Amino acid sequence: MKKSILTPILILISGLFIFSVLTAFKTFEGQKPWPVPDKYKNMKNPIKSDASSIASGKALWNTHCKSCHGSKGLGDGSKAAQLKTEPGNFSLAAFKSQSDGSIFYKTTEGRDDMPGFKKKISDDDDRWAIVNFIRSL
């Protein structure tokens, strides 16, 4: 009797373990290190993070970023599933620990599925405003 009860429990526990491992791998799937030049890592945001810059950043975010990164930066935008690489989850500590300059660099230059926005959003101050909005998420 004990053997027949333990088997389904062990199968359930094993299944939950495998699911959690696969979910963890999915979180990092397609993500590779994204080196940022020291010049940008150490760059300070020249735009004060106030209601005005955050509102400007949000408007730009809604136009250029939301479709992949989602409204809250969780990587769950309407186009996210079509991408070859994970758009990232901006609520994670690993993302939040980046400098403003690093985020500015990545927004400006892009890589893989992430386009660079130095031409579409040619004003540096506008890209810095996006950084301020991202920090407000």
Threshold 0.85, pTM exceeds? no
Cβ count near 53 (within 10 Å): 21
Kindly provide the b/e burial profile for residues 15-50, where b requires at least 16 CB atoms within 10 angstroms of the residue's own CB: eeeeeeeeeeeeeeeeeeeeebeeebeebebebebe
pLDDT band at 27 (very low <50, low <70, confident <90, very high): very low
Give the chain's mean pLDDT.
86
Average pLDDT over residues 41-58: 97
